[in-house]
Amino acid sequence: MAETILFTDVGEGIHEGKLVQWRVAEGEAIKEDQPLCEIETDKAVVEIPSSKTGTVLKLHASVGQIMHVGDSLVTVGQPGESIPAVTASAVSSGHPSSPAAPVTTSSSPTVPVSKPPVSAPTSASLSATSAPKATPAVRKLAQQLGVDLNRVNGSGPGGLVTESDVQSAKSSASKDAQGASSELPASSSQYRQAAAGPSIHPALIKAAPSVRKLAFELGVDLGRVQGSGTGGRITEDDVRNANAPQSTAMSASAPTAASVPASPVSVSVPAPSAATRRIHVVSRPYGTEIRKPFTPVRKIISERLSWSAALPTVTHVDEADVTELWKIREKEKVHADEKGVKLTLLPFVVKAVCKALQEFPDFNASLDDEKGEVVLKKYYDVGIAVDTPIGLMVPVLKDADKKSVFDIAQQVQLLATKAKERSLKADELSGSTFTITNIGSAGGIYATPLINPPEAAILGVMRMQTRPAFAPAKKNATDSKAKPSKSAPKVEARQFLPLCLTFDHRLNDGAAAALFVMEVKKHLENPEGLLVGDI
């Protein structure tokens, strides 16, 4: 029997992606695990393999279309077989592309996601196996309109899906498809459909043209907006308010929707106010203004960082005297260059941080709010913030503590290149336990980075400064001529590296943070230990 393969969670809590290429065609015979298509998610292009062997009867999406988790990808069956309606029972999920991803979209709460399974990610809760509540007439309508009932939230009693739920799901789907889909609305009826979904006859919607324009821009279905103006007229504020709850829902799901490390720890956070308030900037004729889209990547960054900014964090600033380290780096750089590796101070910092994290485990931790427990992680996967043309990416350097400085340099370089090319795999973007942001590569004296939730802290590494400073007292002053107690301190050119640690004050206090940074400093100022068994 023909079965429809759905687009499932690709492993980083991503709930949508753009179909960039079909790898199969209608009528083509395919095998299980053969790639069906390529989907560009917010940060990577992933191949979606088939979960079936058979003949492709129908491709359900067109290139360029935005696919949501649960959308139909292809129907696979025997040649000539008729295509069944997409119902819950005929559905099987596509294979996840990443080994860290949930295996099916079943509602099992214990699907392992990454190393210590504290709890399941919420985005796997789209159930394809339990049929949604809907009357036969509604199911028929859904079939006619091509609406997947699994994706419709029922507004009727007990979550029952009503006809108008299906119709508005259809209208919002066609809005999504605007410009990309070949299934465009028929010209004869679209004037009436233009202003609102079919939840109410469009002629009865009391909203001025300017308000309808705003609703279109914000994607608000006016048929579902309660007007607060005279005689039930819908005002601009009504439209903005109607838009706000949707963004609350988005920020509530931010921990799983975001593609920066999908955490195994479910953390409940109050919805950040910055993300729920929508601001409509009205263009005024004061000068030339350009509007550009707020890209999906920036939306993800916005959601994650709004969440982060709502946490009680403090930034502690210190600087390490890296004069000795700089000398080592200058010497080793030549060897690295020969191997095509660019050696900067960053790999040394990564190494120093790993050592400090081993001493201060509360900085390699996450808070599990629900259980009231702190999860201390005994693995050291360091996220490296990378600036790319489309926005910030945080690829993950796995088991950084076990790697040599040279290996770290090589891998960071590789990850950064992949981030800029958007070729990172989903698992290269998830699971970091601590993040380092090398702001110094751009410049600056100090900064207050935002932590990468649910991590406990982030270290901002600033630009190294060369300054005149007193040389530190020699540790082993065996020179008989020198009298350390009386000799005048000597001023010389020395190199300093400012370090800015932002930490979650719920997990650590200021003193601990100061000591942690001191520990990092200690390793950077005595670099021999960093190089054990190295280079």
Q: Which amino acid is at 60?
A: H
Burial bucket for residue 534 (CB in 10 Å: 0-12, 13-18, 19+): middle
Q: Which is nearer to another protein, 201 or 505 (CB)?
A: 201
> Closer to another protein at the Cβ: 84 or 185?
185
End-to-end CA distance of the chain: 59
Closest separation in Å from C-beta 246 to another protein: 17
- Choices 124-132, 175-183, 239-247, 466-474 (CB under 8 A): range interacting with another protein: 175-183
Using CB under 8 A, which residues numbered 205 to 264 contact another protein?
205-209, 212-213, 216-217, 231-234
- By CB under 8 A, tell whether 195 contacts another protein: yes
Binding test (CB under 8 A) with another protein, winner from 21, 53, 153, 190: 190
Site string for another protein, 5-44 (x = CB under 8 A): ----------------------------------------
To the nearest whole angstrom, how small is the minimum distance from the Cβ of residue 229 to another protein?
9
Beta carbons within 10 angstroms of residue 180's beta carbon: 15
CA distance 396 to 383: 4
Task: Please say which residue, 175 or 371, places its beta carbon nearer to another protein.
Answer: 175
Sort 184 into a burial class: Cβ within 10 Å, 0-12 / 13-18 / 19+: exposed
Report if residue 511 touches another protein, rule: CB under 8 A.
no
Closer residue to another protein in complex, CB, 79/232: 232
Instruction: Decide whether 171 or 437 has the Cβ nearer to another protein.
Output: 171
Q: Is 201 a catalytic residue?
A: no
What the block records as the tokens of 110 is 């214990």
Of 201, 280, 335, 505, the active-site residue reads 505
Angstrom distance (rounded) from CA 323 to CA 491: 13
Residue of 272, 278, 266 lying closest to 304 (CA atoms): 272
Question: What SS3 class is residue 206?
Answer: coil
User: To the nearest whole angstrom, how small is the minimum distance from the Cβ of residue 126 to another protein?
Assistant: 28
Q: Is 191 in the site for another protein (CB under 8 A)?
A: yes
Binding of another protein by 278 (CB under 8 A): no
Residue 63 engages another protein in binding (rule: CB under 8 A):
no
Q: Which helix (H) or strand (E) holds 520?
A: helix 510-525
Query: For the stretch 385-424, what's the b/e string if a residue is b when 16 or more beta carbons lie within 10 angstroms of its beta carbon?
Result: bbebeebbbbbbbeebbebbbbbbbbbbbebbebbeebeb
- The DSSP H or E segment spanning 374 is strand 373-376
- Residue 103: CB atoms within 10 Å: 14
Q: Is 292 in the site for another protein (CB under 8 A)?
A: yes
**Count of residues that bind another protein according to CB under 8 A:** 35
Closest to another protein by CB, 233 vs 420, is: 233
Kindly list the distances between the CA atom of residue 453 and the CA atoms of 13, 218, 296, 365, 509, in Å, as whole numbers in the listed order: 14, 28, 19, 10, 17
Nearest to another protein of 233, 240 (CB atom): 233
Q: Which residue has the tokens 């040389």?
A: 471
Q: How far is the CB of 197 from another protein (least distance, A)?
A: 13
Nearest to 454 by CA among 316, 252, 273, 307: 307
Is position 194 an interface residue for another protein (rule: CB under 8 A)?
yes
**314: helix, coil or strand?**
strand
The residues of the shown chain that bind another protein, judged by CB under 8 A, are: 64, 178-182, 184-188, 190-191, 193-195, 201-209, 212-213, 216-217, 231-234, 291-292
Catalytically active residues, by annotation = 505
